[in-house]
Chains A and B, each alone.
Chain A
Amino acid sequence: MIKLIFTACLMMSFAVGLQAAQTDKIQILINNQPTTFSPAPISKDGVWLVPIEPFCKQLELKVEYPDSTEMAVICGGGEAELCVPINFGEDVFSINNVNYAKIESITQPFGYEIYKSSETQLEVIHREQLAPNFTLPDLEDNPRPLKSFRGKKTLLYIWGSW
């Protein structure tokens, strides 16, 4: 019981802070397509929250709320169906009767990566769309993962003295 009250208090304080920060200027692109949600996503202190049901629908994921639990269960992922529980108070927050989740808690388990293209725009990208990563040494023998070049357009020019 003590734990439940503590969780509820945390949720309330978080919700109050978030309401102050709510903005409709935030844009989320899913697989390069601008996507609108109602209600709008929320950003506060670098944490992005999305309304669970509409966001999951865009990713073709299902949401369930098992009885007598403090969690949402997200299922999907094509043929190899996966179900991932996310906990209220930790990754899920109820604000004005809408359930919001931290965006990574939904995207990460289902193979999506997040790229923050500006302060008000996030891109949700499936890993299949990303350039396969590898790590090679530079001329000073420092290991350089290909993904360390993210943030600018990169032409990988593969050449040899042949």
Chain B
Amino acid sequence: MVKPWHDKANAEFTTLIDSQNISGNTYNLKAIPYGIMIDEAGRLVKHPFNINVAKKETIKMLETWLSDPTYNTRLLRDITPLKKSENPKVIEANARFQLGLTLLKIGKKQEAIIEWRKALELDPKNWLIHKQIWAVEHPDKFYDGNVDYGWQKEQLEAEKK
């Protein structure tokens, strides 16, 4: 599923496959795309941030990071250690999300969706869970050609009502 996107982009970077939300769980992500900046020594220099590589300021910031060692130092001066959420609802939501992914992997789609819906009740702003449910319930809106973002907006409006 991922390789066609990688090939189409003529990507020269390494692509890793995360079918079990391991990166999301490790870095407390609730939506994508997200960027995480790590320096040569393996230090986190900036907490996960909502990234848009189409924006000039994002590219400029990344170019500065690559070319100016003092920028990396400044980022390190301001960063605090990444902490896992201690909110019991978020912890339970993450556990149910993981359980659902495992159930899906072994072919128990309906059981997976039940777990994700419980997870979403606990952590309603978690867009990873939200979109996972949509993608499994409506694969035609995600995996037949382009992703149908218009349909997603309609879904959101309908759910608000």
Q: How many Å lie between the Cα of A158 and that of B43 in the bound state?
A: 18
B114 within 8 A of partner (CB): no
B89 within 8 A of partner (CB): no
Give the Cβ gap from A105 to chain B, nearest Cβ, in Å. 20
Give the Cβ gap from A26 to chain B, nearest Cβ, in Å. 17
CB neighbours of A152 from chain B (8 A): 40
A120 within 8 A of partner (CB): no
Also in contact, A151 and B16, with CB within 8 A (given A32-B76, A132-B82, A158-B34) = no
B36 within 8 A of partner (CB): yes
Q: How many Å lie between the Cα of A125 and that of B147 in the bound state?
A: 42
Is A159 in contact with B33, judged by CB distance below 8 angstroms?
yes
Is B26 in contact with A162, judged by CB distance below 8 angstroms?
no
In the complex, residue of chain A having the shortest beta-carbon distance to the beta carbon of B65: A153
Give the Cβ gap from A40 to chain B, nearest Cβ, in Å. 22
How many residue-residue contacts, CB under 8 A, span A and B?
114
Is B147 in contact with A162, judged by CB distance below 8 angstroms?
yes
Residue among A123, A128, A132, A146 with the highest chain B CB neighbour number at 10 A = A132
A1 within 8 A of partner (CB): no
- Binary interface encoding of chain B residues 33-67 relative to chain A, with 1 for a CB under 8 A from any of its CBs, else 0: 11111111111100010010100000000100110
Is B23 in contact with A156, judged by CB distance below 8 angstroms?
yes
Is A138 in contact with B38, judged by CB distance below 8 angstroms?
no
Give the Cβ gap from B80 to chain A, nearest Cβ, in Å. 9
Is A131 in contact with B38, judged by CB distance below 8 angstroms?
yes
Binds A, one of B1-9, B102-110, B118-126: B1-9
In the complex, residue of chain A having the shortest beta-carbon distance to the beta carbon of B27: A132
CB neighbours of A123 from chain B (8 A): 41
B 107-161 contacts with A by CB, 8 A:
131, 134-135, 142-143, 147
A 121-137 contacts with B by CB, 8 A:
123, 125, 128-132, 134, 136-137
Q: How many Å lie between the Cα of A162 and that of B143 in the bound state?
A: 9
Contact among B1, B22, B42 with A150 in the assembled complex (CB-CB below 8 Å): B42
By Cβ-Cβ distance, the 8 closest A-B pairs, closest first, are A115-B41, A156-B36, A136-B16, A131-B44, A128-B81, A131-B38, A162-B131, A154-B38
**What are 10 A-to-B residue pairs whose CB atoms are below 8 Å?**
A129-B79, A136-B16, A136-B22, A139-B3, A150-B41, A155-B62, A156-B38, A157-B34, A157-B35, A159-B33
